[in-house]
Amino acid sequence: MKQKERVIIETAIKLFAKKGYNATSVQEIAKECQISKGAFYIYFKSKEALLLSVLHYYYDKVFSRIHKIQTEHDNPRTVYRKQLIIFFKNIFDHKEFIMMQYREQPLPYNEEIEAFAKKMRTTTLKLHKENIQNIYGENIEPYSAELCFLIDGMSEVYLELMVLLHHSFDLHLLADHILNCIDDLATGMMKRSESPLISNEMADKWFGPFSRLDPLKDTLIQDMQIKVEKWFNSDPPLELLESLNILKEELKKQTPKKAIIKGMLLILHEFEGLRKEVDQLTEYIQKDILNS
Q: How much is the pLDDT for 68? A: 78
pLDDT of residue 227: 78
**Which tens digit of pLDDT belongs to each residue from 67-89?**
778 777 789 999 999 999 998 99
pLDDT for position 289: 60
- The set of long-range contacts for 86-92, using a CB threshold of 8 Å and a minimum separation of 24, is 86/62, 87/62, 87/155, 88/155, 88/158, 88/159, 88/162, 88/169, 88/171, 88/174, 88/175, 89/171, 90/61, 90/62, 90/65, 91/62, 91/159, 91/162, 91/163, 92/162, 92/163, 92/171
pLDDT at 187 over 50: yes
* Residues forming CATH 1.10.357 domain(s) in the chain: 51-207
At 154 the pLDDT is: 94
Q: What is the mean pLDDT of the chain?
A: 84
pLDDT for 261-284, tens place per residue? 999 999 999 888 888 888 878 877
Helices 76-93 and 111-136 sit at what angle, rounded to 10 degrees? Answer: 150
List of residues 6+ apart from 277 with CB closer than 8 A: 220, 223, 224, 227
pLDDT of residue 291: 55
pTM over 0.85: no
The CATH 1.10.10.60 domain(s) of the chain lie at 1-45
Report the pLDDT averaged over residues 101-116: 71
Give the fold, CATH level 3, of 1-45: Arc Repressor Mutant, subunit A (1.10.10)
The DSSP annotation for 112-161 comes to HHHHHHHHHHHHHHHHHHHHHHHHH-GGGGGGHHHHHHHHHHHHHHHHHH
Query: Would you state the pLDDT for residue 157?
Result: 93
The fold for domain 51-207 equals Tetracycline Repressor; domain 2 (1.10.357)
Question: Rounded mean pLDDT of 58-71?
Answer: 79
* pLDDT tens column, 222-271: 778 777 877 777 677 888 888 888 988 887 776 788 899 999 999 999 88
Q: Among 65-74, 104-113, 185-194, which is the least confidently predicted range?
A: 104-113
Residue 251: per-residue pLDDT: 79
What pLDDT does residue 213 have?
Answer: 44
Is residue 132 pLDDT above 80, yes or no?
yes
pLDDT over threshold 80, residue 179: yes
- In this model, does residue 139 exceed pLDDT 90? yes
Q: What is the pLDDT of residues 194-220, one digit of tens each?
A: 899 999 888 878 876 665 545 556 667
Given a cut of 80, whether residue 2 has pLDDT beyond it is no
